[in-house]
Structure 1
Amino acid sequence: MTGLLSVNALSKAYSSSGRQVAALDTVSLTIAAGETLGLVGASGSGKSTLSRVLLRLLKPDSGSISFEGQDWLALRGAELRRRRARMQMVFQDPLAAFNPLASVASVLDDPLRIHAIADRKQRPADIAALLERVGLHATLAPRPVRTLSGGQRQRVAIARAIATRPSLLVLDEAVSALDVTVRGRILELLVELQREHGLAYLFISHDLAVVRAISHRIAVMDAGRIVEEGPAADVVNAPRSDAARRLVAAVPRLVTEPV
């Protein structure tokens, strides 16, 4: 695997009640092509702030980001819009990320049109192919997004994200709102897409069990900093930081004998 994303010493502070709060404190990480890095931490640890800085939705106070060999923070205007196709995001609540009145077809048509991936005549066929690729029937295309189940909406969100042929998906609590069965199916879909297309994932969650199931490596955030990073099995089985130990302790365990 080769280097895809390199984050170096990112910092971002907010003002709160007259004082500065460090949401990100010199955060550094790397993701290789085709790799899944799981990012875990308690609420308020800085995970979502990091995802929004990576997507250029927030501007960091300092630090650097290299993506596909380019200075990601230096891109502007048309070049930034063009390059955004290569890094896409899947949010926790796809209904909030979509126009609730939009149809499935219009949601998937937008990235194909905006990034000039297909012309008007080709787009219906591409939309059908995207739906089928994420396990949905093409007959759903005319349906309003709001009429779909939570699992179906998240599949549409993934279809929209992969429509631009990205190399990296940032998934911010993308399965946390789904029930256990649907969550497992979405995770299986993500693994299949990674295997077929060489996608890299930054998989953000507070749920260590879910992160372990899909990640090659895990990074643990606490109070805006990366406090531990390593192979997924090592972080879960032998956590070194207090933050990782708290997350491991919070993972539910089955009772195998009477108490």
Structure 2
Amino acid sequence: MTLLDVKNLDKRYASGGRTVTALDGVSLTLSAGETLGLAGASGSGKSTLARVLTRLVPADAGTVRFGGEDWLALSGGELRRRRSRMQMVFQDVLGAFNPRATVGSVIEDPLRIHDIVPKAERGREVAALLDRVGLPAAYAARSIRDVSGGQRQRIAIARAIASRPAMIVLDEAVSALDVSLREKVLELLVALQEERGIAYLFVSHDLAVLAAVSHRIAIMDAGRIVESGPAVEVIGNPQSSAARALVGAVPRLIGQEDRNAV
């Protein structure tokens, strides 16, 4: 079932007296429970696309249907209510949190804002979410500043799944982690997808990461999608110069057949 249907999405910025095209007629689809890897060099438009889809910045033209609704037409209270269905995990998770917040309050916020569980049950739900991402319930009392980068990334994932979303956009969400932590976070994401049927739009410049988790991969260059297809085909036989450059930048890629072993 198609969960996300994007057609002819445009976004332009004014910069230094000139117009910069960040998105130029971008079209893509994402099915429920599927991972679409979005790759491209810096400045290719992939992070802009992530922010347009999550309604952090407006589109200039095009359509986005999410869960059968006109996603770009939603505003005010309607948009706030629907936001629970599409969450985002950023690369800079510390910058995405209130630095004075506790781990528990960070995870509890979506439970409260979207009225996911009654107030009396939120503490138990926070503990359950921490447990699901491999952290002790006692971490709820810690300051968000007093946990490691890998732990903050897990907390960001716990917050994202707290609202029981249909889709999560991950924007370079593991690029700041070392190899061992990256592997653990990718394992967690794959397990959560299998359990809950969450769809991921996984934005990364690293094809090795995308090979480990993606069913399909789309390659962006200069604001356009220049190639897309099954992950194993895009990586094994890249057709565009942008895809060939990305493949050439990684000495060894994980095959799609190894996806479940990550």
Give, in angstroms, the shift of residue 5 of structure 1: 0.2
* Pairing 1:44–2:71 present: no
Partner of 1:191: 190
Q: Secondary structure at the match of 2:119?
A: coil
CA contact (8 A) 2:26 2:224 kept: yes
Provide the rounded CA distance (Å) in 2 between the counterparts of 1:231 and 1:62. Answer: 28
* 1:1-259 mapped onto 2 (5 Å cutoff): 2-253=1-252
What TM-score results when the alignment is normalised by the length of structure 1?
A: 0.96
Q: How far 1:119 sits from its partner (Å)?
A: 2.0
Question: Residues of 1 paired with 2:175 and 2:82: CA distance?
Answer: 28
Aligned-residue CA RMSD (Å) = 0.9
Question: Whole-Å Cα distance in 2 between the matches of residues 118 and 212 of structure 1?
Answer: 36
2:9–2:25 contact (8 Å) kept in structure 1: yes
- How many Å separate the matches in 2 of 1:17 and 1:51? 24
Mark the runs of 5 or more structure 1 residues left unpaired by the alignment. 255-259
State the 1:252 CA deviation. Answer: 2.5
Displacement after TM superposition at 1:76 (Å): 1.4
Give a deviation string over 1:93-112, Cα, whole Å, max 9, x none. 11110011110011011110
Number of matched pairs: 253
Alignment-mate amino acid for residue 50 of structure 1: L
Distance 1:232 1:244 in 2: 11
Normalised to the residue count of structure 2, the TM-score between the two structures is: 0.95
Q: Report the counterpart of residue 256 of structure 2 in structure 1.
A: none
* Cα distance in structure 2, aligned partners of 1:78 and 1:39: 30
Q: Give, in whole Å, the separation in 1 of the partners of 2:208 and 2:2.
A: 26
* Structure 2: tracts of 5 or more residues without a match: 254-262
How far apart are the structure 2 equivalents of 1:109 and 1:209?
Answer: 33
The structural deviation recorded for 1:118 is 1.6
Q: Percent of counterpart pairs with the same letter?
A: 67
- C-alpha displacement at 1:18, in angstroms? 1.4
Q: Is the 8 A contact 2:39 2:46 kept in 1?
A: yes
CA-CA distance at 1:16 after TM superposition: 1.7
The answer to which of 137-146 and 13-22 deviates more is 13-22
Whichever residue aligns with residue 155 of structure 1, its letter is R
- Separation in 2, partners of 1:103, 1:253: 40
**Residues 14-46 of structure 1: per-residue CA shift (max 9 Å, x gap):** 112211110000000000000000000000000
Shift of 1:253: 3.9
More helix by percentage: 2
Give the 3 Å change call, closer, same or farther, for CA 150–82 of structure 1 in structure 2: same
**Counterpart of 1:132 in 2: which secondary structure?**
helix
Q: Is the 8 Å Cα contact of residues 208 and 252 (structure 2) preserved in structure 1?
A: no
Task: Name the structure 2 match of 1:257.
Answer: none
Distance (Å, rounded) in 1 between the aligned partners of 2:108 and 2:187: 25
2:174 is matched by which residue type in structure 1? V
Separation (CA, whole Å) in 1 of partners of 2:75 and 2:245:
41
Q: CA deviation at 1:224?
A: 0.2
1:17, 1:203 → 2: CA distance? 31
Partner of 1:122, secondary structure, is: helix
Task: Kindly provide the amino acid, as one letter, of the partner of residue 82 in structure 2.
Answer: R
CA displacement at 1:244 relative to structure 2: 0.1
Q: CA offsets per residue over residues 176-235 of structure 1, 9 Å max, x none?
A: 000000000000000000000000000000001111110000000000000000000000
- Secondary structure of the residue aligned to 1:73 is helix
